[in-house]
Amino acid sequence: MSSLAKDQFYIGKVFGYLLALLIFAVTVTALVLIHDLILLMWYLTGQPLTGQILSISLTFFLAVISWAKLSGESARKYFH
């Protein structure tokens, strides 16, 4: 494989990694917003909110933990 082909392959992997992080961020943001909307609907109908607050909290912490793992060096080694 020539040097130019190796460089193009490397750049493709970096863009793939960045695209995966972007898609993940958009998906998790949408998921948290959907749960917020469900919480609002439950609040407006007068139903107990404990389960929905727990659901939003768990979704948020899952997003934070996943983002920390995906943006760490251990995940980057698969793309370089």
Residue range 19-70, pLDDT digits in tens: 877 888 888 889 888 988 988 998 999 988 898 888 888 888 888 887 777 7
User: Which pLDDT belongs to residue 45?
Assistant: 92
**Enclosing domain of residue 45:** 28-80
Query: What is the predicted pLDDT for the residue at 80?
Result: 54
In a domain, 74, yes or no: yes
Q: How far apart are CA 14 and CA 58, in angstroms?
A: 30
User: What is the domain count for the chain?
Assistant: 1
Residue 44 confidence (pLDDT) = 93
Amino acid residing at 71: S
Cα–Cα nearest to 62, from 51, 73, 70, 52: 70
> What is the structure's pLDDT at 11?
60
Which pLDDT value is given to residue 67? 77
Within a domain: residue 40? Answer: yes
Q: Which candidate, 1, 16, 27, 35, places its Cα nearest to that of 75?
A: 16
Higher pLDDT pick, 12 / 71: 71
